[in-house]
Structures are given as C-alpha cells and as structure tokens.
Amino acid sequence: MEWYYALMFLLGMILFFMFLGIPVALAFIAANMIGATYFMGGSGDLLRQMSRGIGQLTNNALPTVTTFNLMPVPMFLLMGEIFFHTGLANKMFSAVDKLMGKIPGRLSFVTVAGGTAFATLSGSSMGSTALLGSLMVPEMEKRGYKKHMAIGPILGTGGLAMLIPPSALAVL
C-alpha cells in the first residue's frame, strides 16, 4: 500500500470526527487508534487485529512520553507565567522604559527591547508573545496606540525568542 492512501485515510478520519463536533485532540486519538488497528493489525479476526494495532500504538507512545527531551518547553512557558503574575515583567519593562528616555514612539522600542531581554531568559516564542501581549497591549492602548500598531512589535519580537539561545527550538 502506498503512503498517500494511509495519509488520505487518516486525514479523512480526522475531518470526519471534527465535522461530528468531536474535539480535535479526541479526533486525533480516535483516528490514530483506528489507523493503527487497520494498518498495523494484520489479518485475522477483529479482536486480534485490534490487540496488535493498539499494542503497537502503546509501544510507540510510551517511550515518547517518558523521555525528558522536551521537558524545558513547558518550563519556559511556566517561567513566563511566573514573570507575569509576580510583577517581575512589569518591573523589567519599566526599567527598560526609563533607560529609553524621551524617544517618540518609545513604547514600541520598549516592547522590542524588553521582549528581547525576556526571550533570552525564557527561550519560548509562545511564552514571550503571550507575556508581551498580556502586558504591553493594554499599556499601549492606554497611551493612545491603535491595536494593530500595538500588536506589530509584539509579534515581531515573539519570533526572536527562537533565535536567541537557550531556545525551545535549540532544545528540539
């Protein structure tokens, strides 16, 4: 059997389950279980086929879950949340704001400079963007920035986190 038959089968199953209103995670799990039963089960009665297919699925999933290679990624996100809820991020951005002085449009520069500093600490693009979005967008709107002008530097700086070590991309 060609690989694109399996791809069409799995994508069709996922889309079918999603059209039924099943959440995405459960749709993926169900499609993987049905695909493992169908493609890896071999021949025989349905119970034996399901046993082999699901057994292969669990044998492949267990080592993936028990390795610690990806452990830093949620820790980067957790660090961003801790920075936000403890007020440390506010202090960092106000320090960068004072260093900038009286530059016109300085809040955009503060966002980029502070976001770069946070990116060196966290290493996560998602964590950096989430922190900057929740912290800087209300402040920029309060100072008269339009929403689309406030989001621009945040999105630009969010992409820097994967380039500055230690990054989640370097972990992978």
Nearest Cα residue to 51 out of 30, 72, 36: 36
Place of tokens 């500055």: 164
Q: Which amino acid does the sequence have at 51?
A: S
Count other Cβ atoms within 10 Å, centred on residue 9. 16
Q: Is residue 5 exposed (0-12), middle (13-18) or buried (19+ Cβ within 10 Å)? A: exposed
Contact 13, 30 (CB under 8 A): yes
pLDDT of residue 32: 85
Residue 148 has pLDDT above 80, yes or no: yes
Q: Which of 133, 112, 129, 125 is nearest to 167 (CA)?
A: 125
Please, where are the H alpha helices in the chain? 3-19, 24-40, 46-66, 72-86, 88-100, 106-122, 125-142, 147-158, 168-171
Residues 26-39: tens digit of each pLDDT? 999 889 888 888 87
| For range 112-126, the mean pLDDT | 80
Instruction: Show the tokens assigned to 29.
Output: 């799990």
In this predicted structure, the answer to whether residue 15 has a pLDDT above a threshold of 90 is yes
DSSP label at residue 43: S
In the chain, what are the domain boundaries?
3-66, 72-171
What pLDDT, on the 0 to 100 scale, is given for residue 12? 94
Listed residue (93, 95, 99, 129) closest to 114, CA to CA: 93
